Amino acid sequence: MTDKIAAAWAHLQQVSQATLGQLFAGDATRVEGLSGRIEWDAEEGTSGILFDWSKTHLDADLIAGFESLAQACDFASKRAALLSGEKINNTEGRAATHTAQRGMGDAADVEEATALHARMGMLVEAIHQGALGEVNHLIHIGIGGSALGPALAVDALARDLSLVDVHVVSNIDGVALEQAFAACDPATTMVAVASKTFTTIETMTNAASALKWLGENGVSDPSGRVVALTANPEAAVEWGVDETRVLPFPESVGGRYSLWSSIGFPVALAVGWDEFSAMLAGARAVDEHFASTDGAANLCLRAAFADQYYTRLRGCQTRAVFAYDERLGLFPSYLQQLEMESNGKRVTASGAPVDGPTAPITWGGVGTDAQHAVFQLLHQGTNLVPVDFIASIAPGDALDPAHHAILLTNCFAQGAALMAGGNMAADGKDPARAFPGNRPSATMLCDDLDGATLGALIAFHEHRTFCNAVLMGINPFDQFGVELGKKMAKDIEAGGAEFDASTTALLAKAGL
């Protein structure tokens, strides 16, 4: 930690902490001051997302302190390095070029992404037009970043109109694959094998079983039904996928940042190329805001200021995200990988031990379901949990408008209750019925939930994650922490390796 960074943190520790009630009482313009919109062109004019951070404890002093911290951390030059394709993933010696997939980045990276998208678009179009025969189902096989984004986007966007019925299978547990088989007609099923490395054991084992299933169920050329989505096209060809059906993406696109690349193939197949392009355009709108806005006016950086405040200065070990939208049910699990695999680190980018907590545990669920399950702890538990709410003004359903009104009312009521607190007892005195309040939340209110909005929401969180990493001095683009367990599983499989007594006994019990 440089002296400047240490000084910025030391100053932040001194900033006095008003309650949320005091902050609102003291500033009539607080809502406008701490809210901002990111917009993009839509059919009916503009569409966008309102980011309301007014129910967090950020105030002018904290924001000034965090702006000094961002300066001390060289935020502007690190952002420029990210967006210009410099090798900012220093431990792996490569750039992080996911924004180039949306048209922002080094010219050569953007050109490459455009060419690869054109190829992917042609294959999607060809399949829609029947060039590969009748295709009604796609079994998309991948794991982690090769599955969570597609699963989220298909679930969010392909409910009303799915051009092809997509099943995302990630787990090596055969139960998952069998469930997809049961829902698909082998004669009209294609298989997408999605793996950046094309070596991941779960994906390659599931892919082999899917081909076997096709072969055993009357498909004469199972390999002819496969599309590979990968940064290792040679391995895909060697595995048996015809070159014309290998959709590559650059090595510099990280797995958990890869939805925008050919990993998004199932999304384009399910919702069509236009909606997939809209998703890229929504993300691009956030890229533009992120690239061109300084200080706390940059909404991604502002969110990271609040994240750092709660994690480092208030000791919050978790952050919860509740989507008041059934279509975003998979958003918390998508964010878990994005945030925890990126920033769950114990050393800085230079390898020194970090000097404070890094990523909190991301968790969450869907409202209103979660209200009836976990909100007790949020309101009255002893853990302080900053909460994000996400909702859409336009309904996703065509039922009585009462449904959507109750949904939104509940969303806003939860944020208000967390902040205000109170006592539910008639005499206001029963401690069991007391709510301390002063509990923070942020709200992301979308005009609508369509492809562009989903792209914008995801890109916002990508950049928020990056901002947090810069403020903590860590490299968010590697993930060595996942490797040791994988190696041990391989050692067990290979046999002969020695383990602790507990593991040895468990293996013996399971007959392994």
Nearer to ligand F6P, 47 or 232 (CB): 232
* Distance, CA of 397 to chain centre: 24
Instruction: DSSP letter for 328, please.
Output: G
Task: Give dist(CA 178, CA 241) in Å, integer.
Answer: 23
Nearer to ligand F6P, 256 or 284 (CB): 256
139 within 8 A of 112, measured Cβ to Cβ? no
**Shortest reach from residue 143's CB to ligand F6P, in Å:** 5
**Shortest reach from residue 256's CB to ligand F6P, in Å:** 5
Q: How are beta strands 45-52 and 441-446 bridged, if at all?
A: antiparallel
Instruction: DSSP letter for 336, please.
Output: I
Q: At how many degrees (to 10) do helices 273-292 and 451-472 cross?
A: 40
Nearer to ligand F6P, 200 or 468 (CB): 200
284 within 8 A of 104, measured Cβ to Cβ? yes
3-state secondary structure 83-116: HCCCCCECCCCECCCHHHHHCCCCHHHHHHHHHH
Identify the active-site residue in 117, 341, 404, 462: 341
Q: How are beta strands 165-169 and 318-324 bridged, if at all?
A: unpaired
**Shortest reach from residue 232's CB to ligand F6P, in Å:** 8
Task: Kindly tell me which residue out of 48, 144, 186, 250 binds ligand F6P, with binding defined by CB under 6 A.
Answer: 144
Nearer to ligand F6P, 197 or 423 (CB): 197
Q: How are beta strands 387-392 and 318-324 bridged, if at all?
A: parallel
Task: Give dist(CA 339, CA 360) in Å, integer.
Answer: 8
**By CB under 6 A, residue 145 contacts ligand F6P:** yes
**Shortest reach from residue 161's CB to ligand F6P, in Å:** 28
Report CA-CA distances (Å) from 203 to 164, 227, 336, 468, 482: 21, 13, 20, 31, 16
**Shortest reach from residue 199's CB to ligand F6P, in Å:** 7
x/- mask, ligand F6P, residues 188-227, rule CB under 6 A, reads -------xxx--x--x------------------------
Residues 482-501 that bind ligand F6P (CB under 6 A): 482
**Shortest reach from residue 415's CB to ligand F6P, in Å:** 32
Nearer to ligand F6P, 484 or 508 (CB): 484
Task: Kindly tell me which residue out of 225, 256, 302, 312 binds ligand F6P, with binding defined by CB under 6 A.
Answer: 256
Task: Give dist(CA 316, CA 318) in Å, integer.
Answer: 6
Task: Give dist(CA 186, CA 138) in Å, integer.
Answer: 10
x/- mask, ligand F6P, residues 387-426, rule CB under 6 A, reads ----------------------------------------
Task: Kindly tell me which residue out of 146, 362, 443, 465 binds ligand F6P, with binding defined by CB under 6 A.
Answer: 146
Task: Give dist(CA 53, CA 388) in Å, integer.
Answer: 9
Nearer to ligand F6P, 144 or 332 (CB): 144
Nearest to 250 by CA among 112, 137, 392: 112
Identify the active-site residue in 212, 486, 487, 490: 486
Report CA-CA distances (Å) from 310 to 385, 395, 408, 441: 8, 32, 26, 11
Annotation marks residue 487 as catalytic: no
Task: Give dist(CA 512, CA 505) in Å, integer.
Answer: 10
Nearer to ligand F6P, 399 or 482 (CB): 482
Annotation marks residue 341 as catalytic: yes
Nearer to ligand F6P, 55 or 196 (CB): 196
**Shortest reach from residue 258's CB to ligand F6P, in Å:** 7
Residues 9-28 that bind ligand F6P (CB under 6 A): none
Report CA-CA distances (Å) from 458 to 136, 346, 446, 452, 465: 28, 25, 13, 10, 11
x/- mask, ligand F6P, residues 331-350, rule CB under 6 A, reads ----------x---------
440 within 8 A of 20, measured Cβ to Cβ? yes
Judged by CB under 6 A, the number of residues near ligand F6P is 14
Annotation marks residue 372 as catalytic: yes
Task: Kindly tell me which residue out of 255, 360, 364, 473 binds ligand F6P, with binding defined by CB under 6 A.
Answer: 255
**Shortest reach from residue 239's CB to ligand F6P, in Å:** 13
117 three-class SS: helix
Handedness of CA 240, 244, 247, 248 (dihedral sign): positive
Q: Which span sits near ligand F6P by CB under 6 A: 139-147, 350-358, 365-373, 444-452?
A: 139-147
Identify the active-site residue in 372, 429, 483, 498: 372
Task: Give dist(CA 91, CA 423) in Å, integer.
Answer: 52
**Shortest reach from residue 362's CB to ligand F6P, in Å:** 15
Residues contributing to the site for ligand F6P (CB under 6 A):
143-146, 195-197, 200, 203, 255-256, 341, 479, 482
Catalytic site residues?
341, 372, 486
